[in-house]
Structure 1
């Protein structure tokens, strides 16, 4: 059964613990808190929904990640009329999901003297409503004390419309290489086939001490090079019909194709689950660090609104939050 709510605020790609996280600046964190507080004054916010890459376990240490996370949630947790935090892990914090499902389905079961099930259920679960989870410690002593985690999708009905929330990494072929070998027949298989790749590259290797430092240095050099090249192209090709415009156009078309493929697969996978995907529907994601609002995509004859919540990492111009309230049109806002 799809949960019905009246008001959600969605953000993504905070990258807590990483040096370019915008919330490292206390002024930006304070301004964000002020905006969400103001939203809550004009009608209770049922959920602050964080669409993945909240924790940067790929580029930062546990100490840095959870110190910054504690700071972030101790601030946000003071907001009146904010009822819950809901988190969908992405590729940079996928390991959080691994920890949760193993605790709930393996180690926690063994701790109780029982035998675990032969198969690990990897998807369409939500933890934190009934059971205690370790992330709730980040809100200790706060007014907001409800912290839920689900993966890889969350569905909510708001104002008579279905909203489909997802981080966005499973749209991206670089995160699903096993699909080339064997096409998944279900969401469970999609995750089972590719989770070891996501865990290995975006968690285990970069946490491997000196090897991890080498990989991080290479990543930083690569992203720095990309930034320089983007600046160069922007300087010498400033119109949309130039190289930069054409490259961006190719990226957008590729992304549309990836979204369509994922949504088509999900429509097929969920058809055995009544009332899961239905019209009218909007799809909300992050991952790309490029905000967008309300473009319509035709998927199997169904018109779906597409929203991207941007990122709170690097460029302040990309920082935004999506307000979804009742029957109003979703609104992408900035500080």
Structure 2
């Protein structure tokens, strides 16, 4: 039986160029080489091509939904090399393109700088055409116009287009920017999918809007129905770009920020962290005070047991609360923020496009959180529950293995049915879930040909996906171990430096006394 191919394939949070991305090649010591694909990336490209070749239809459009380039923490040269590598490994095979020539790119917080470049380019293009604008545009149109005007409605990324088009077989490739939302609408104008990276759902990235809402005379800003996507970008864009999207090109400062991001992400939530920290403390007690870990303190309780107990009562308890957070894909506050974005800025943008949100069969796709999931959510202003799909992420930026962290790819057909290809979740107890297709588990799944086709396609390409799963598990486990090693090597260095400083000061004091 022929399987109908998707119209769109959506990936996000690849963090290309970053050492903590599972798609970046690293040697046994964890040293990254962005010019080479990781084994996980190679296996993913092979499996994805086999899956798409099992489906009948034209090549789908690739949608890159933000944080695909890790401009926030990686130098531009590394990012460009990593993107070129991704193009060669995933977007083509033997000089033949896997996807349609036109790629749609929706920037996120780590690659927001691409939107800044696109804004400048659009302004220059307007000047060349004799049009004068008061300021840079704040966002692109939610939907593309029909016919020949469609491609002209997006802003091209000259850099990414050049990187892609230089790959054999991709001379016609073009990367266009849509921001902050990309809307897809079926011919009947009754079914709609909106894609957004997810950073404006997160209060951290719309802090300026929240501050404006607190200012005297700005009470209207507290009403989500009054905040537009133009408001969000106009008020917060510079903040996002300054703090989160260009540190990778800031030399040692950027590298230091990256290390801080990796090490302090959630080290206390690792059980191994507590165990190794206890061992480190006991070793220092033995070295400095002659107190062996087996020394009896009182009633048979040893030094080692006492230290570990103290850590469990402090760091351990905090770690457990962190694990509770990682045991769920979204907290109650996260859900409230998601509802805020959908019932406010997204709803307003739909209405501005001439649609009635309440009448739509509506789905929303986002990433950012690195926790893939599929669900339905009642949202004010929409009569039907909204289909919610999260693409997860491809990074291991903390030493904690959590079953909720992982990555998905979204497959969307011509009729805008959405299905999730669950690629991997962190291995827990040494096991990683196999690649499989998922829907929201509600009424949409009962008649979703995209979900049926994706399920059958995964079965037909199962050996390739099994290879991918093995590589993904190895990559996440190796990266988590390296993160722990880096943290404890740094800890030993800090302690040694502090001890040397104390000895130097003591020697100077003794010399002065003499």
Q: TM-score, normalised by structure 2?
A: 0.56
1:19 Cα deviation (Å)? 0.2
Map 1:67-146 onto structure 2 (within 5 A).
67-79=81-93, 80=97, 82-83=99-100, 84-106=102-124, 108-109=125-126, 112=128, 116-125=132-141, 129-130=151-152, 133-134=157-158, 135-140=160-165, 141-144=167-170, 145-146=173-174
Which of 336, 340, 344 matches 1:261? 340
Where does residue 421 of structure 2 map in the other structure?
Answer: 332
CA distance in 2, matches of 1:308, 1:15: 16
Are the structure 2 counterparts of residues 249 and 55 from structure 1 closer, same or farther at C-alpha, using a change threshold of 3 Å? closer
Where does residue 58 of structure 1 map in the other structure?
Answer: 72
Map 1:1-335 onto structure 2 (within 5 A).
7-25=7-25, 26-41=38-53, 42=55, 43-79=57-93, 80=97, 82-83=99-100, 84-106=102-124, 108-109=125-126, 112=128, 116-125=132-141, 129-130=151-152, 133-134=157-158, 135-140=160-165, 141-144=167-170, 145-157=173-185, 161-182=191-212, 183=221, 185-205=227-247, 207-223=249-265, 225-226=267-268, 228=270, 243=321, 244-245=323-324, 248-249=327-328, 251-265=330-344, 266-275=346-355, 277=357, 279-293=360-374, 295-300=375-380, 301-314=383-396, 318-326=406-414, 330-334=419-423, 335=465
Q: TM-score, normalised by structure 1?
A: 0.84
**What SS does the aligned partner of 1:299 have?**
coil
Structure (1 or 2) with the larger CA radius of gyration:
2
**What SS does the aligned partner of 2:249 have?**
coil
Could you say which structure has the higher helix fraction? 2
Are the structure 2 counterparts of residues 229 and 162 from structure 1 closer, same or farther at C-alpha, using a change threshold of 3 Å? farther
1:231 Cα deviation (Å)? 7.3
1:20 Cα deviation (Å)? 1.5
1:230 Cα deviation (Å)? 9.3
Aligned residues: 321
Are the structure 2 counterparts of residues 116 and 7 from structure 1 closer, same or farther at C-alpha, using a change threshold of 3 Å? same
CA distance in 2, matches of 1:47, 1:232: 46
1:35 Cα deviation (Å)? 2.6
Where does residue 216 of structure 2 map in the other structure?
Answer: none
CA RMSD of aligned residues (A): 3.1
Where does residue 239 of structure 1 map in the other structure?
Answer: none
User: Could you say which structure has the greater relative contact order, defined with CA pairs below 8 angstroms and 6 or more residues apart?
Assistant: 1
Decide whether the 8 Å contact of 1:14 with 1:54 is kept in 2. yes
Which runs of no fewer than 5 residues in structure 2 stay unpaired?
Answer: 26-37, 213-220, 276-311, 313-319, 424-464, 466-514
Which runs of no fewer than 5 residues in structure 1 stay unpaired?
Answer: 237-241
Decide whether the 8 Å contact of 2:62 with 2:103 is kept in 1. yes
Decide whether the 8 Å contact of 1:39 with 1:45 is kept in 2. no
CA distance in 1, matches of 2:362, 2:6: 16
CA distance in 1, matches of 2:98, 2:356: 28
Are the structure 2 counterparts of residues 158 and 27 from structure 1 closer, same or farther at C-alpha, using a change threshold of 3 Å? farther
